[in-house]
Structure 1
């Protein structure tokens, strides 16, 4: 059946739109600079380039508290920047404009926004929809908003290694080097969930039901489904299989499955729930981290407790009507 749409106020010139651009997003991807597109099509929008000494939350708070507060919050960046801006949109009760500017743009593609022009088309037409999200917390602090997925285990270990190498090698080469390092050094983590303990390579929590053949769920398959899809990859195989399980492209998964590198179904446990809590303990020397929407979050070395809960219709997003059916 058709998914729900929500008409949003059209902004044909960008009046009332405040856009934060993260210049670090997608810096290793060759693409046309979208600044000219935004300036030409949204001449009345305000665009703020995020500096190294600023946080997105502070920039938005200052804008909302100013003499001319925005009616729409926009972000030009990758999935991490988009999820942080979605959190601010929820906090201030404003609709979100997603301008894809990262490496993968998983969430933007989920809502049918493949280009900056497509996002602006939806803004000009006033087309939008409510999107389900998740809230994730690890302690007494404020929960973070998650739009795609959360992960613990091998994938965060790879991301932590990549972050260490990015300044020297760039994101892409750093990722390749981190993957090779994981083939040698990746270690399982121990989790406790509903009274059960297990040694696992990874846990992925997707917002909404995801493709059943995947372990690594980086991009959500639906934007309205008020459920969490959990995949627990038990540590019964090799490091090579653990790293292979991080593949998320359909063709790559098919090839790896054909040559026997993907884990068998018996090694992957699936849960479909509205709320998920897991205690995580990392071995000595391994990074105590988790990842949400590509963002690395460091935790106490002894381990942490991860709590995820689904939030239906969490944020209103500008998106083309063609993506809502």
Structure 2
């Protein structure tokens, strides 16, 4: 062991010495700046803010990157440095005043700057490989700056990089990476090919998606013969849709909006036996992404070629309302209450801050929900029902690999187990949710839930639709033909 350590230290001295002997240049100024900028992770917080403005996968990467950075920095500086003390490189008299930075008093092993740089960049790369590739040279420069400025041995930097990468990779155990791959759908079916959209009625929700984007113009450009109508959000969607179908007698229905709008138009398509064209135009576009139509042009091409596949639709019957169809998810417990609180706070604070605050508020004050699931009494904190199979099976669901086979993905968190909430948090943090006795998951074609008490709220596809005591969930396999480009 001592022989290996001696070899490592000898290699450190050689590499460090060659770096120290480099002739003065503008690189010295850049290395000094980067080293200071990365102090306390300030550089990476600024990068995260920029990624947040980009949105999408880059924004998710920024969140994962910051969490990875916090964990790696805490592990490197709070645990490994005290446990493995190592002297810093000897102070040097630099010939260039731009060279070097003050030498910290903490242990040299491992490099906290390198660990933070690697953790943030790897965390970003897990969600957005393109953004991670752009950041990789910056992370490498920050790591090297610690050697160039004389405060770390090269092996300290290598250890920090390995540590940061491992921590970021380890986040996948408790926070799965959401795949962008489309879901597996049903068999291909014949659908009318509509050149330039002739015979297509497209329904657009003008209140969905970013305010600065009007998808109607792009749809009209891609399919100039399509009939595009804007929903009146103050009136019943189903009545408007049925009236427009009777008036226009279309050969297919199209929809552009959020998940709530999509499910309303999908239900109309099923009622009138029409194929459905989904144009991504909402904030999250869950169903459009899973159906394999990431761009409006994708849907337009499928409409003109007439390529469509069957997808399952789910429906829930209650004891107080008409059946409520859903394409993505339904839930009981804390989530519907959080949706209602979010809608109340959203005009004042905006959607995302209101959603986060509402979820924290509801879960902190949650009480167990006594229900009977297919005749079995149980107390739960929350019940999730997905249309199709969601992934991963042993973590919080993040993506949907299949919307076929007529299955519901049912998950719930038991509240009748001792210390259920701490156990749930521990299992989620350690990636052992699948083996936890407080987390239950099953795949079934139908599900009956009875509430043993006052009526509770039901949310489907992000919208609260009813307060009831009895719920019957079931799938309708291959209920809707959806235009999808050929792969």
Counterpart residue number, 1:312: 477
The TM-score normalised by the length of structure 2 is 0.57
1:159-203 per-residue CA deviation (whole Å, 9 max, x = no partner) reads: 121112122222112112212312422222111123322110111
Aligned counterpart for 1:48 among listed residues 229, 234, 238: 229
Counterpart residue number, 2:306: 126
Instruction: Summarize the Cα distance change of 1:263–1:274 in structure 2 as closer, same or farther, 3 Å threshold.
Output: closer
Instruction: Summarize the Cα distance change of 1:136–1:299 in structure 2 as closer, same or farther, 3 Å threshold.
Output: same
Counterpart residue number, 1:251: none
Contact 1:215 1:268 in 2 (8 A): no
Aligned counterpart for 1:274 among listed residues 421, 430, 445: 445
Q: Does 1:227 align with 2:395?
A: no
Aligned partner of residue 162 in structure 1, secondary structure? helix
Instruction: Summarize the Cα distance change of 1:223–1:108 in structure 2 as closer, same or farther, 3 Å threshold.
Output: same
Contact 2:394 2:434 in 1 (8 A): no
Aligned counterpart for 2:486 among listed residues 297, 321, 324: 321
Q: Counterparts of 1:113 and 1:31 in 2: how far apart (Å)? A: 21
Report the Cα offset of residue 106 of structure 1: 1.0
Report the Cα offset of residue 93 of structure 1: 0.8
Contact 2:393 2:441 in 1 (8 A): no
Contact 1:86 1:145 in 2 (8 A): no
Contact 2:204 2:230 in 1 (8 A): yes
- Bigger radius of gyration, 1 or 2? 2
Report the Cα offset of residue 210 of structure 1: 2.2
Q: How does 1:130-145 map to 2 (within 5 A)?
A: 130-139=310-319, 141-145=321-325
Q: Counterparts of 2:421 and 2:332 in 1: how far apart (Å)? A: 15
Q: Counterparts of 2:433 and 2:217 in 1: how far apart (Å)? A: 44
Structure number with higher strand proportion: 1
Report the Cα offset of residue 240 of structure 1: 7.7
Contact 1:240 1:261 in 2 (8 A): no
Question: 5+ unaligned residues in a row in structure 1: which ranges?
Answer: 246-255
The TM-score normalised by the length of structure 1 is 0.84
Counterpart residue number, 1:290: 458
1:101-146 per-residue CA deviation (whole Å, 9 max, x = no partner) reads: 1121111111101121211121112111011111211026432222
Structure number with higher helix proportion: 2
| Higher RCO (CA-CA < 8 Å; seq separation 6+) | 1
Counterpart residue number, 1:163: 343
Report the Cα offset of residue 57 of structure 1: 0.9
Instruction: Summarize the Cα distance change of 1:12–1:130 in structure 2 as closer, same or farther, 3 Å threshold.
Output: same
Q: Counterparts of 2:275 and 2:422 in 1: how far apart (Å)? A: 43
Q: Counterparts of 1:4 and 1:99 in 2: how far apart (Å)? A: 21
Counterpart residue number, 2:36: none
Contact 1:150 1:206 in 2 (8 A): yes
Aligned counterpart for 2:199 among listed residues 2, 10, 16: 16
Task: Identify which range, 264-273 or 57-66, moves more after superposition.
Answer: 264-273
Q: Does 1:193 align with 2:373?
A: yes
Aligned partner of residue 386 in structure 2, secondary structure? strand
Contact 2:185 2:403 in 1 (8 A): no
Instruction: Summarize the Cα distance change of 1:6–1:89 in structure 2 as closer, same or farther, 3 Å threshold.
Output: same
Q: Counterparts of 1:30 and 1:192 in 2: how far apart (Å)? A: 43
Instruction: Summarize the Cα distance change of 1:180–1:273 in structure 2 as closer, same or farther, 3 Å threshold.
Output: closer
Aligned length: 302
Q: Counterparts of 2:315 and 2:346 in 1: how far apart (Å)? A: 28
Report the Cα offset of residue 2 of structure 1: 9.2
Q: Counterparts of 1:239 and 1:181 in 2: how far apart (Å)? A: 15
Question: 5+ unaligned residues in a row in structure 2: which ranges?
Answer: 1-183
Report the Cα offset of residue 234 of structure 1: 0.5
Q: How large is the Cα RMSD of the aligned pairs?
A: 2.7
Contact 1:215 1:233 in 2 (8 A): no
Instruction: Summarize the Cα distance change of 1:207–1:260 in structure 2 as closer, same or farther, 3 Å threshold.
Output: closer
Counterpart residue number, 1:202: 382
Instruction: Summarize the Cα distance change of 1:241–1:175 in structure 2 as closer, same or farther, 3 Å threshold.
Output: farther
Q: Counterparts of 2:394 and 2:287 in 1: how far apart (Å)? A: 17
